[in-house]
Structure 1
């Protein structure tokens, strides 16, 4: 009898524990098993997955698809009377109408911010159908407003970001976008008193009770650091009225906090448990960071340490696929930015994907979040939508430690003073607890920070003599237009023999060493100039990757990497500007670095540039010492952390250039380049940038076919036509195929629907040895 009683008690206790810890909330990727068709084609439905682009475009996009397309999906969902069911769309370009079981659920305008649909009232117990009508034609009533044919970027159609199916209890933590409440909705975290010994702040939680009766509840807050150490806080008991919402604010304090910074991006997992009647009604988790971001009289400070911010601009575009890329692809772009020596990115010229921001949080990349816009100021409806976008951008991204500046203004747009007042006010209202530094390209007192482009000033001083009291500036763009427009000034006379197209920073990899070195020199010269401004707290070059734009039938090629993410010489210049003593995560590039910016061919420059963060560099030609030098310091390099090294060679002699870098007299790094011989073979490589291919959902990576000689040296002038093929594995090749190599490398995109088994890719070209590479799933 005692045995039976003991087991009964055990079962009761087990039931109680499971009931307490049962979690009502589920979040499921809703991207599989959709059907799609474009209205213009009047074709049958095709099976697709989301993220999805309305049309695969050419590498150089001319007459990009604009029009209406349709998506539909059949699905079942448990629709209990005590449950809520939502669909969360991260981004649809750019007007969406949603029907559930032929009933109109919502209309949403704007392609760069999310929206949420409460589908509960429309659901059947089985056999539900969702239909989404998507249109990306020009519309002056919402952002960006400007016609695509006149725009400096492209907005690609489709449901191009993730969709999630979310279920909750009818007593639940809201979503800040859906709640649409000023400075509220969901979870809002802010630490307002931070030092190395203690951090204190608040967690604000917005709840909704859609039961017909009042609910008693309390909240538990669990903070877990990156080593698994937990801190727990509990709220007082409270009530939430029937069919009402309520905000609960909890004070929290952490002793010896692990601060988030660019080199140590420590994060905490915040879990909020909503408990009612001894049951966990809802659980919401989010990664947060604790950091102190300030602009003081003498500059910018992160965690009380002064920092000159070095960064870049980025468009979220991929070749062929437009905006429709995976979370993993977003991460790979972010890691390339960090590896380039940058600790900051400006989201040009719109809010980027949530996954990209998550990656910036994880990698330690500071962010300027940007309102959608470029050289267009619309009517009253447009302006009203712009203010709402500012609010939604703040609500979506307010908990990201990476976001330090908010560009609550329309880029390069002549805005009215009334609009600028409303824009800055809206951001401040949404972020009353801090983290609310507003920025504008117009020098206006409504904003905290002035963010001109370098070309908005006049040569040769640009912004170096800016002085407006204690007002600080951040150079939001530099290195491109001022050279494209030929008004750079400084040292251009040294290059008087350059043709106009050779002076510009807009250089494809195919344009060769001389022009790629000119691009790198332009960025160097401009970066050096920026640092001479007493009020300048940082800079972002234009731009990280080459990209398409609506108004021009060619690639904008001022990227320090091309559109396939292949680095140019300028990439190595920026890499060299990070100090050699910086320690980063093992997956990142840091420490002593050295790159010879020369292919060493008969047509190569005899002034050999070496980019390095070392004290001294030795250069050897065929193992014979050419010289040992310190960095070249002149008026175009005297403010840089690490000026380049330049070795003047008497003549070209085929063979091997080897450079060795020294710090405090000790050799710490080396690099070599070899004169390429005749083309012999193909070498295949692929890029995952330390982020394994997603095993369960669609992903995409770049595959590179390098045209090399027998020694494996890439032929920098090779333009061989390469044909890619899949030998085994379930995947798709996206891009021109066959494709001509550019500067010795042909590129294609491998898209995987999922990745459970190895994939083999073959590359072939006339008169070259073929190559095969096998890509295996990660064992992690």
Structure 2
């Protein structure tokens, strides 16, 4: 049996914008969250008078923007002679002051929000003391300044930051292999809120918004959004809490709203649980799909009072003995490195664009894991990991030492705030529940489980002290510098491991871990060279140059970076190692191809493959060691396709002779597509001057002194006093850092060095365009979706479908779509009434939909009439489940569109069927079986356009006079621009 389905769309011929009438939700709240990084004044050191004193003055203070360090420092930390207890470096008080006009209603609540500050913070507003934060330097906090500000007037904010050594604030009071740089080093926000609002995420273990996924399969996921609302008004308030789940095109796919009443001064915990059961997109490093959760507080009239947006990545991590770490049911080996947050010159005062740059470099190396050492990192880095697909493990701020009870209480509080702040990031695999080197701390494990039972805890142990197993934590996370072994019932994660600058020993340990599923992954120490007072480098004692590092301190790649890329990425690549990865009688080449050809000065050296043995047997791409004594000239490496014929990648490296010129380049990752550089006054750009010979061959050794000049709206970070400009550096590269201004501009950077030809390069900065909005103003599209299940009065309703029941005859109704839009739908036959029937006992995913429906017994059309539709483009799915004793009698269906060029349908469609069988004594009548599972999946798909009249009609008819037409139900969906490509 075949059907011809055609559309009679009652529309005009011209449609100006088929998506113009998709419902757009009002998400802009009356509350304000404003970034206030610009316009601060700064004073280093103590002051004579307190901010509450009449003699207080900020006259002559330095003008600065945030993030800001206590002081710019040299790569050798100003030649400080401190040991790893950091007795003097940046151990001082500093002051920051900013004036701000604060607008709001008389009952507004005003909060000053900090992402972090080193390390004890005191606040005054308009000369009045507000309070102190002393939990630590690495977690967020806020002050309620409502009673101290004058709304509509200029207010003065004054901060004292105390970074002096303090044995009661973790990780301080002990030794560390990292530096506690002073300063107001993370973003600061002003919040002006309605008295009825969401609490801050870090307030308590019930506060803020917590998004979790209690159940995840490859087809569906359950999502729970827990939010806490406070009523700081003087009277009880009625309100709504609204939750939206939206996809990457900002289209609402789920919504939930509940009504509440809250007394003055009270809080309310609200839980909304829903799910995604169609077209589910899972999050993984290979496909980091992100939904969003938009949470809103609305007043009785429906006005949005407070709106917050959180990422939602649907994924499921599992630890399974002898299978390892499973992500969404599939084994995954996590391979990456440890990261410190600091950069040269600026210390911890890293702007958001550099946090994102670090994440991007991890991703392009092929790594899928970052361990955040040894403290909570910036929100911007976690956000980048979510978006790029990097798995994160995070830990509270410690190294080895432990303090007294107050110190431990603050460490536990720092751990709890870390979890509350970052629990909604899908990139986070788990939390450190120990003290680095010492292993498990039970109170940290229990705190982690209390705050976030959805994630694993890790013990942070070593091989030379403490428990040699996971203990009460979920995962044995250990430093593997001495050949770590696991116990029979443990899985093992090398949270740190060593390597070598030439990459060979790094390859050995990675191979060992890849060969055993119970060794779930490893993170090298470290991602980049970092600063400490352990005195590891002869030239720069306060710079730690790590053998396993993939980048130097300025994020210039080392040989290990290219080996990771060859092992962990699929885009064809080949790279000849620089001098740090070469040997006297061998040339090391990294590639993910199976074979290379090496040429010297365009003369063939030969074709080569990697040599495999016990030390690298589990690797995808061991490096290729070519027997060749390279003293001068140019090497060319050609990587071949597996067919041995086609060249898929090429790389050249020349040994420079005499230094002749400078070549200037901006960081290539920073200037790549998808990395927006805006003139926001805070961002920093990395650039380099390469020292080459006349032919462009790199002079791969320490550079001469290079001086940079900059034209355009920006400023070079540092000067001669800290060795930043002019600068000398290593491996033929002289680095420079540029802080952007606040105007769109072209930056032109020129490098000079005595006796060398100067070089220059330019970069365009985009206008910020108020990029950091004061409001959470996510634009959400809420398209119309209408589900209808046809059947007689005995039908079983299909869940989430409107049940349209009738014994016979025509019908018309006004229905309400999922987004609240009313739609008028009429159903008709032609000259005779339609026949409504039902069966039961049909298996399948949409069994209740397909077990009953409408038949046209005389072969006449069934017609659906729609009116009151918003103008736009629509998709209509129709289900046609047939009952027949002979499946072969049901022919494939061909659909045509005779009456509208805008209508589209699938060209082939086969309706499903089930054989009629007798019902047992359990009941009477007839039911279908057999192919009904196919019926649940089978549907016809049509698209059409509706103009401003809002009408369309769909007729279904058989091509031959007396053939039956059956309709079980339909789904009408308004399309959005992002959905068109999915048709």
The interval holding the TM-score normalised by the smaller chain is 0.7 to 0.9
Instruction: Mark the CA change 1:367 to 1:642 in structure 2 (over 3 Å): closer, same or farther.
Output: same
Give the whole-Å Cα distance in 2 for the aligned partners of 1:151 and 1:659: 46
Aligned to 2:568: 578
Structure 1, residues 572-624: CA drift from partner, whole Å, max 9, x if none? 111111142xxxxxxxxxx11211114599x9633111111112222222333
| 2:524 is equivalent to residue 541 of structure 1 | yes
Contact 1:87 1:118 in 2 (8 A): yes
Alpha-carbon offset, residue 748 of structure 1: 1.4
Classify the secondary structure of the residue corresponding to 2:765: coil
Stretch deviating more after TM superposition (99-108 or 160-169): 99-108
Over 3 Å counting, the alpha-carbon distance change for 1:742 and 1:401 in structure 2 is same
Does the 8 Å contact 1:36/1:71 carry over to 2? Answer: yes
2:150 corresponds to which of 108, 124, 131: 124
CA–CA distance in structure 2, aligned partners of residues 18 and 80 of structure 1: 27
Partners of 1:129 and 1:238 lie apart in 2 by: 38
Partner secondary structure for residue 739 of structure 1: coil
Are the aligned partners of 1:30 and 1:164 in contact in 2 as well (CA < 8 Å)?
Answer: yes
In structure 2, relative to structure 1, the CA distance for the partners of 1:625 and 1:113 (3 Å cut) is same
Displacement after TM superposition at 1:677 (Å): 3.2
**Is the Cα–Cα contact under 8 Å of residues 393 and 431 in structure 2 kept in the other structure?**
yes
Q: 1:612 touches 1:661 (CA, 8 Å); kept in 2? A: no
- Contact 1:377-1:414 at 8 Å conserved across structures: no
Q: Deviation digits for residues 273-317 of structure 1, max 9, x if unmatched?
A: 212211222211122211111111220011111001101001001
Asked if 1:332 is matched to 2:357, the reply is yes
The answer as to 2:454 corresponding to 1:454 is no
Partner in structure 1 of residue 725 of structure 2: 737
Among residues 316, 326, 332, which one is paired with 1:292 in the alignment?
Answer: 316
List gaps (5 residues or longer) in structure 1.
Answer: 1-16, 481-504, 506-515, 581-590
Write the mapping of 1:504-515 to structure 2, written as runs, cut at 5 A: 505=500
User: For 1:694-733, what aligned pairs fall within 5 Å after superposition?
Assistant: 694-717=678-701, 719-733=703-717
Contact 1:734-1:751 at 8 Å conserved across structures: no
Q: Which residue of 1 aligns with 2:888?
A: none
SS in 2 for 1:428: helix
The answer to whether the 8 Å contact 1:617/1:662 transfers is no
Alignment match, 2:662: 682
Partner residue, 2:613: 634
1:320 aligned onto 2:345: yes
Higher alpha-carbon deviation: 236-245 or 52-61: 236-245
Shift of 1:381: 1.0
Is 1:767 aligned with 2:755? yes
Q: Are 1:466 and 1:533, in contact at CA under 8 Å, matched by a contact in 2?
A: no
Shift of residue 638, structure 1, vs aligned partner: 1.4
Q: Provide the residue aligned with 1:36 in structure 2.
A: 42
Q: State how far apart, in whole Å, the 2-side matches of 1:732 and 1:406 are.
A: 38
Match of 1:477 in 2: 496
The answer for the alignment partner of 1:752 in structure 2 is 740
* TM value normalised by structure 2: 0.69
Checking the alignment, whether the CA contact within 8 Å between 2:714 and 2:738 is kept in structure 1 is no
* 2:226 paired with 1:247: no
2:584 alignment partner, SS class: coil
Offset at residue 41 of structure 1 (A):
8.6
Q: Kindly provide the CA deviation profile for residues 485-538 of structure 1, in whole angstroms up to 9, marking residues without a partner as x.
A: xxxxxxxxxxxxxxxxxxxx4xxxxxxxxxx42xx2232223233345553100
Show the counterpart of 1:355.
380
Q: 1:33 to 1:173 in 2, by over 3 A?
A: same
1:427 positional shift: 0.6
Pick one of 670, 674, 692 that aligns with 2:650: 670
- The CA RMSD over aligned residues, in Å, is 2.3
Aligned match of 1:214 in 236, 246, 259?
A: 236
Give the structure 1 partner of residue 856 of structure 2.
Answer: none
Partner of 1:435: 455
Deviation at 1:216, TM superposition (A): 1.6
Find the aligned partners of 2:297 and 2:671 in 1 and give their Cα distance: 38
Q: Which residue of 2 aligns with 1:556?
A: 544
Q: Where does residue 625 of structure 2 map in the other structure?
A: 646
SS of the residue aligned with 2:113?
strand
Match of 2:486 in 1: 466
Match of 2:599 in 1: 620
| Contact 2:365/2:569, CA 8 A, preserved across alignment | no
Q: Secondary structure at the match of 2:147?
A: helix
- The aligned counterpart of 1:10 is none
How much does 1:185 deviate? 1.1
Q: Is the 8 A contact 1:440 1:447 kept in 2?
A: no
Q: Which residue of structure 2 aligns with residue 13 of structure 1? A: none
Residue 204 in 1 paired to residue 223 in 2?
no
Offset, 1:372: 0.8
Query: Are 2:509 and 1:522 equivalent residues in the alignment?
Result: no
CA distance in 2, matches of 1:779, 1:34: 21
Shift of the alpha carbon at 1:259? 1.1
In the alignment, which residue of structure 2 is the partner of 1:487?
none
Contact 2:433 2:457 in 1 (8 A): no
Tell me if structure 1 keeps the 8 A contact 2:598–2:635. no
Does structure 2 conserve the Cα–Cα contact (< 8 Å) formed by 1:170 and 1:210?
yes
1:568 equivalent in alignment to 2:524: no
Alignment CA distance shift 1:158-1:619 (3 Å): same
Structure 2: gaps of 5 or more residues? 1-22, 49-58, 81-88, 462-466, 536-540, 769-983
Deviations 1:189-245 (A, max 9, x none): 111211221111211111001112222222222222113332231223221222100
User: Aligned in 2, Cα 1:534/1:757: closer, same or farther, shift over 3 Å?
Assistant: closer
Which residues in structure 2 correspond to 1:234-273 (within 5 Å)? 234-255=256-277, 256-273=279-296
| Deviation at residue 40 of structure 1 after TM alignment | 5.1
Structure 1 position 276 matched with structure 2 position 299: yes
Partner of 1:776: 764
Secondary structure of the 1:237 match is strand
Q: What SS does the corresponding residue of 1:777 show, helix, strand or coil?
A: strand
Verify the 8 A CA contact 1:472 1:535 in the aligned structure 2.
Answer: yes
- Structure 1 residues 142 and 624 mapped into 2: Cα distance closer, same or farther (>3 Å)? same
User: For 1:534 and 1:284, how far apart are their aligned partners in 2?
Assistant: 40
Any conservation in 2 of the 1:579–1:641 contact (CA below 8 Å)?
no
The question of 1:135 aligning with 2:114 is answered: no
Shift of 1:642: 1.3
Separation in structure 2 between the aligned mates of residue 36 and residue 681 of structure 1, nearest angstrom = 40
Listed one character per residue, the Cα deviations across residues 156-196 of structure 1 (whole Å, up to 9, x for unaligned) are 1011000001111111111121x32x2x2111111121122
Deviation at residue 759 of structure 1 after TM alignment = 1.8
Taking the aligned partners of 1:630 and 1:726, their CA distance within structure 2 comes to: 46
Distance in 2 (CA, whole Å) between partners of 1:649 and 1:773 is 36
Which deviates further from its counterpart, 684-693 or 379-388?
Answer: 684-693
Q: Residue 944 of structure 2 corresponds to which residue in structure 1?
A: none
Q: Which residue of 2 aligns with 1:491?
A: none
Secondary structure of the corresponding residue to residue 274 of structure 1: strand
Inter-partner Cα distance in structure 2 for 1:738 and 1:236 = 62
Count of matched residue pairs: 700
C-alpha separation in 2, matches of 1:104 and 1:18:
44
Residue of structure 1 equivalent to 2:585: 606
Classify the secondary structure of the residue corresponding to 1:391. helix
8 Å Cα contact 1:600-1:675 kept in structure 2: no
Q: Secondary structure at the match of 2:137?
A: coil
Given that residues 113 and 351 in structure 1 are in contact (C-alpha distance below 8 angstroms), is that contact kept between their aligned partners in structure 2?
yes
The one of 57, 71, 76 equivalent to 1:60 is 76
Asked if residue 597 in structure 1 is aligned to residue 597 in structure 2, the reply is: no
Q: Deviations over 1:133-159 (max 9, x none)?
A: 101122111210244xx3200011011
Query: TM-score, structure 1 length as denominator?
Result: 0.86
User: Aligned equivalents of 2:31 and 2:662: distance in 1?
Assistant: 51
How has the CA–CA distance of structure 1 residues 730 and 21 changed in structure 2, closer, same or farther, with 3 Å as cutoff?
closer
Q: Is the 8 A contact 1:734 1:750 kept in 2?
A: no
Q: Is the 8 A contact 1:661 1:670 kept in 2?
A: no
Q: Does 1:187 align with 2:231?
A: no
Which region of structure 1 is more displaced relative to structure 2, 399-408 or 218-227? 218-227
The corresponding residue for 1:26 is 32
What is the distance in 1 between the residues matched to 2:432 and 2:516? 21
